[in-house]
């Protein structure tokens, strides 16, 4: 059973980070929050670090939809880290509110060859691991859409739209729009292979299927956020929005567009 005031803290186990975590642990104790024996019992799962650490925390705790994730940044501002280590009083205050202010973030469910699904908070990327291109048939719902040949594709959540997707020329999407953005990485376009050439955004009930054309030269690598999956002979990847979302504790006056502005403008 979860108890309202139990928390679980995740951070990279270095000496420096252990030191950084001490004032936080002390503040939490003073406010009567207790360390949960495992993350399964915790109401609050706290990540200390950057966005990278937040992505790992959510992955390692199984993308729980029944707890509240908290991101505390150790240096700069981040997209998933509402708080910084200089704002611990504000953090405690926010955790003690009778009605907690949370954001809900859509996540992507990726199924490789009908096996158990993987979840993604930023994106699922499928790309060539060699100097050669690879070919995929792209289907939306059950309809064939295009044949892609090139380096790969990024399928990003709205919150992931500011990461790899953005570097590949994709649009930044408001997390209030549950959707997946499909973005090409260096598609080859000629009379034989033709793709849309721009990224496109799929609504929440769509399914995307990438069927890898088995040419004998295909060596794609699949990544879910910052983790690479190793599957020897992938035939297809099915992607859709998961039917659950994660909840993240929100700092007041720190909207998504606020963070986009601060980070990029
Ligand atoms: P990394 O290569 O060490 O860092 C990637 C950078 O992206 C870091 O500055 C990270 O912030 C930031 N970031 C992570 N999620 C973000 C988000 N939703 N919006 C804006 N920036 C974000 O890898 P990592 O830290 O483990 O992060 C994994 C992510 O890197 C992947 O999910 C992918 O989106 C991204 N990536 C980008 C490229 C590219 O732009 N060409 C290539 C591969 C992967 P922190 O410093 O706070 O961690
Ligand atoms: Mn990083």
Terminal alpha carbon distance of the chain: 45
Q: What is the pLDDT of residues 232-248, one digit of tens each?
A: 889 999 999 999 999 99
* Any ligand 1 atom below 6 A from CB of 158: no
Q: So what's the pLDDT on residue 3? A: 60
* Ligand 1 atom at shortest distance from the alpha carbon of 160: 18
pLDDT at 1: 42
User: What average pLDDT does the segment 22-40 reach?
Assistant: 96
* Neighbouring residues of 64: CB distance < 8 A, sequence distance ≥ 6: 39, 45, 246
Together in a domain, 127 and 94:
no
Which residues, other chains included, contact 85 with Cβ-Cβ below 8 Å and sequence gap of 6+? 20, 23, 24, 48, 72, 73, 74
What is the predicted pLDDT for the residue at 227?
95
Please give the Cα distance from 104 to 1 (Å, whole number): 23
Considering the domain architecture, whether residues 38 and 53 belong to the same structural domain is answered as yes
Q: Indicate whether 21 and 135 sit together in one domain.
A: no
CATH number at residue 222: 2.60.200.30
Cα distance between residue 58 and residue 42, in whole Å: 13
Encode pLDDT of 193-203 as tens digits.
999 999 999 99
Q: How far does the centroid of ligand 1 lie from the alpha carbon of residue 225, in Å?
A: 8
| 255 three-class SS | coil
**30-36: average pLDDT:** 96
Looking at the fold, whether 80 and 181 belong to one and the same domain comes out as no
User: Closest ligand to 256 CA?
Assistant: 1
Which structural domain, as residue segments, surrounds residue 120?
A: 107-243
Say which ligand is closest to the CA of 79: 1
Tokens standing for 209?
Answer: 């299927």
Ligand 2 being an ion, which residues bring their Cβ within 5 A of it?
A: 52
- The total domain count for the chain is 2
Average pLDDT, stretch 80-93?
A: 94
Indicate whether 163 and 199 sit together in one domain: yes
Please say if 51 is a catalytic residue.
yes
3-state secondary structure at position 194? coil
Statement to judge: residues 57 and 149 lie in one domain: no
Is residue 187 located within the same domain as residue 132?
yes
Q: Encode pLDDT of 40-70 as tens digits.
A: 999 999 999 999 999 999 999 999 999 999 9
Q: What angle do CA 185, 187, 193 make, to 5 degrees?
A: 155
The reply to whether ligand 1 has any atom less than 6 angstroms from the CB of 79 is: yes
Q: Do 82 and 33 belong together in one domain?
A: yes
Same domain? For 122 and 191 the reply is: yes
Q: 226 and 123 in one domain?
A: yes
The more confidently predicted of residues 231 and 102 is: 102
| Shared domain check, 254 and 234 | no
Same-domain status, 112 and 97: no
Can you give the pTM of this predicted structure?
Answer: 0.95
The answer to whether residue 113 scores a pLDDT higher than 50 is: yes
């Amino acid at each position: 059973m979860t108890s309202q005031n139990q928390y679980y803290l995740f951070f990279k186990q270095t000496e420096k980070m252990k030191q950084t975590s001490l004032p936080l642990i002390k503040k939490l104790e003073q406010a009567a929050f207790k360390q949960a024996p495992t993350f399964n019992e915790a109401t609050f799962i706290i990540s200390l670090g950057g966005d990278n650490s937040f992505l790992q925390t959510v992955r390692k705790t199984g993308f729980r939809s029944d707890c509240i994730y908290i991101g505390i940044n150790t240096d700069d501002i981040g997209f998933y880290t509402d708080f910084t280590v200089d704002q611990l009083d504000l953090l405690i205050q926010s955790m003690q509110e009778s009605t907690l202010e949370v954001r809900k973030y859509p996540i992507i469910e990726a199924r490789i060859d009908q096996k158990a699904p993987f979840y993604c908070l930023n994106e699922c990327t499928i790309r060539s691991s060699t100097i050669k291109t690879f070919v995929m048939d792209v289907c939306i719902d059950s309809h064939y859409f295009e044949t892609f040949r090139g380096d790969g594709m990024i399928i990003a959540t709205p919150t992931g739209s500011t990461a790899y997707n953005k570097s590949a020329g994709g649009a930044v999407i408001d997390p209030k729009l549950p959707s997946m953005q499909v973005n090409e990485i260096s598609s080859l376009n000629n009379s034989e292979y033709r793709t849309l050439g721009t990224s496109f955004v799929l609504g929440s009930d769509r399914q995307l299927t990438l069927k890898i054309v088995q040419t004998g030269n295909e060596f794609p690598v699949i990544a879910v956020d910052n983790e690479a999956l190793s599957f020897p002979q992938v035939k297809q990847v099915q992607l859709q929005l998961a039917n659950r979302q994660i909840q993240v504790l929100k700092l007041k006056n720190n909207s998504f567009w606020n963070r986009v502005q601060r980070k990029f403008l």
